[in-house]
Amino acid sequence: MLAANTTPMNGLSVFSRALLNDDLQSDLTEVGIDYARSRFRGYVRYDDDNTQPTGRTRDIEGAGEVFVTRHWGVSLVGIRDIETNEWRRRDVGVVYMDDCVRVEVVYQHSNTIVGRLGASDSVFVRLTLATLGDEGYRNADFR
């Protein structure tokens, strides 16, 4: 595995990872940017995966969350398949977070591009306790 990471300024991280096979060809490549500030966090990633039995996948993934008050925010996630030029997944959520807990109600629309299943919609609740060390608390000073 080859990996590189740099943080050119506070809150910005740029990284690249590659998994090489025996012929020194890349089977898995990921390149991305993470950005975090007091009320906003987000990332953009490019993934090229040739390790799946169903074949190669290439996609762009992006996500972000914005806190409009100290405790309340919204979140968005999107994964776009480059080969088929279709959305693989789209999420939108409402987030509540304090010093102890993070609760997120998410609406998710997923498309299965390869396989027999079609599109699906779901709503779920994600609960994260701060004492379990989720990275959601890394840049959580929204005061």
Tell me phi and psi for residue 55, to 5 degrees: 115, -175
pTM of the predicted model over 0.85? no
Token pair in block for residue 60: 């762009």
Q: For residue 119, is it within any domain?
A: yes
**Digit-coded pLDDT (tens) for 83-108:** 889 999 999 999 999 999 999 999 99
Domain, as residue range, for 47: 40-136
Q: Is residue 44 part of a domain?
A: yes
Is 35 part of any domain? Answer: no
Is residue 6 domain-resident?
Answer: no
Instruction: Please indicate, yes or no, if residue 112 is contained in any of the structural domains.
Output: yes
Q: What is the pLDDT of residue 119?
A: 87
pLDDT digits (tens, 9 = 90+) for 4-23: 999 999 999 999 999 988 88
| Distinct helix (H) and strand (E) counts, the chain | 0, 9
In a domain, 28, yes or no: no
